[in-house]
Amino acid sequence: MKGTIRGRCPRCGGKIIYSEFYQNARDYTIRKDGKVPNRYVSRSGELSESVAACENGCGAYWEDEDFSIGQDGMFYDNKYTEDGQT
């Protein structure tokens, strides 16, 4: 796995918040009279988008291609150097 393992923000030392985006849907079967019923079936699935950012708002952020989560469960930073520069 390439990149630097990070446990804290390289700019300010704050916590890194990692977010995965999911898709949720409610499927309604329209009744014969044309009315939308109250009942629905829920479906959900994962989107292929994730982001990470410093919780302190220092400006450090990672888009999907800027980091990875390895098989070992570690956060790998592909964007910032040790001194917090891109």
Percent of the chain whose predicted confidence (pLDDT) is above 70:
99
Q: Is the pLDDT of residue 1 over 70?
A: no
Q: Is the pLDDT of residue 24 over 90?
A: no
Within 8 A by CB and 6+ apart from 47, the residues are: 20, 21, 22, 23
**Global pTM value:** 0.73
Encode pLDDT of 28-47 as tens digits: 999 999 999 999 999 887 77
Which amino acid makes up residue 9? C
Computed over every residue of the chain, the mean pLDDT equals 92
Q: Please report the DSSP string for 32-84 in residue order.
A: TTSPPPS--EEEEEEEEEEEEEETT-SS-EE-GGGEEE-TTS-EEESS--TTS
Give the long-range contacts of residues 28-31, CB within 8 A, separation 24 or more: none
> Tokens in use for 60?
């450090």
Which amino acid makes up residue 37? P
Domain boundaries, the chain: 4-77
> Tokens in use for 56?
């302190």
